[in-house]
Amino acid sequence: MAQQIDLNPRPVAASFVEMDEIVQPSDLNIYGSIFGGYLMSLMDKAGGISAFKHCGVNVVTVSVDRLVFKNPAPAGTVLSVKASVNRAFHTSMEVGVLVTGLKPGERQETTLCSAYITYVAIGADGRPVPVPPSLPETPEQRRRYAEAELRRSARLALDERLAAQQ
Ligand SMILES: CC(C)(COP(=O)(O)OP(=O)(O)OC[C@H]1O[C@@H](n2cnc3c(N)ncnc32)[C@H](O)[C@@H]1OP(=O)(O)O)[C@@H](O)C(=O)NCCC(=O)NCCS
């Protein structure tokens, strides 16, 4: 059955996702801190749920921008993965994802990783379908909304320059 898309604008807050996880010994790299690929998987999961909450139909990951690992974390760290839609475009949505961690014995969370992940809404035929506009309501949400357009414009400009060189 075809999925129905409600194209009425949706507030950014409606796409907010927070997932908690604990870092297990099997999630570590050979240096004894959290494996980056494990963190990326959690971020893609939270980001995909956020995009789905915004548009209400299946989404696929199309690109990841500015993935930054800021700090390592050992086993026993309690992770908090937060995601929300920064901006919806036509069929795509930029989702901001931030991972913080409460390390064993510490009382304050540390920023571990952040990224901007773009998802595309997909219809029953596997092709992109339009998504509702996103409505930023707070100063922070409005800042992220404006910055998402800058990132998109910069990417498109770079794509054009690279294509012109071929
Ligand atoms: C996502 C997919 C359907 C898009 O197909 P496409 O032919 O590029 O479609 P379009 O050119 O119409 O672009 C669709 C949207 O994707 C965006 N997009 C395409 N490439 C992009 C990129 N590299 N970075 C950011 N956005 C991108 C376009 O800007 C467009 O957004 P808009 O409608 O909001 O302007 C196709 O690339 C795909 O199936 N990719 C594989 C997805 C996947 O398997 N992910 C991993 C598992 S979830």
Ligand 1 binding residues, C-beta < 6 A: 60-63, 89-92, 118, 120, 128, 155
Choose among 114, 113, 108, 96: nearest CA to 33. 113
Query: Residue of the nearest CA to atom 35 in ligand 1?
Result: 90
pTM: 0.96
Domains along the chain with CATH numbers: 10-164 (3.10.129.10)
State how far the alpha carbon of 64 is from the alpha carbons of 28, 36, 76, 108, 111, in Å. Answer: 22, 14, 27, 28, 18
Is residue 117 within 8 A of residue 98, CB to CB? The reply is no
Pocket test for ligand 1, best of 120, 156, 159 (most atoms within 8 A of CB): 120
- Tens place of pLDDT for every residue, the chain, 166 residues? 556 788 999 999 999 999 999 999 999 999 999 999 999 999 999 999 999 999 999 999 999 999 999 999 999 999 999 999 999 999 999 999 999 999 999 999 999 999 999 999 999 999 999 999 999 999 999 999 999 999 999 999 999 999 999 8
Start-end of H helices in the chain: 36-55, 139-164
